[in-house]
Amino acid sequence: LTMIHLQSAVRFLLERWGIDIWPRNVFNSTLDGMGGAASILATGVFAWSVGPWFTWLEPQPAMLAGLVVSTAAYIGTATVRAVQQALYISEEEHLLPGMGGILNLVYPFVYAAPLLFFLLLALYR
């Protein structure tokens, strides 16, 4: 939960600084695409550094979990936003100024929560 919200916070800060991390081609070589990669790497480093203190994971599996979860959170948010745009669904964005609607905090969990569950199940079964 902390890793996903950290990734969302880094994404929020990058968007506040004018770096849009949701270009049409997500992983391109522009500064916009690098913003998404920066949020993923920041979460991986965070998981590597504090994961062993808060969980039973060693540093390397904690970093792997951080990278997998943050990548899944990034892709989950991009997927839900793409579906919203394709179906012309707009969310009320005045509830959290600068952050978007309240569901923007739930979008990363679409892929990240099940993936983390199965990753931990595979690592420690």
Per-residue pLDDT of the chain (125 residues; tens, 9 = 90+): 677 777 777 777 776 666 555 555 444 445 556 667 777 788 888 888 887 887 777 888 888 888 888 888 888 877 887 787 788 777 666 555 555 666 777 777 888 888 888 888 887 77
Q: How many structural domains are present in the chain?
A: 1
| pLDDT of res. 33 | 60
User: Considering the entire predicted model, what is its pTM?
Assistant: 0.65
Give me the torsion for CA of 113, 44, 85, 34, rounded to 10°: -170
Here the tokens at position 107 are: 């979008």
Domain with 26 in it? 2-123
At 85-100, the pLDDT tens digits run 788 777 666 555 555 6
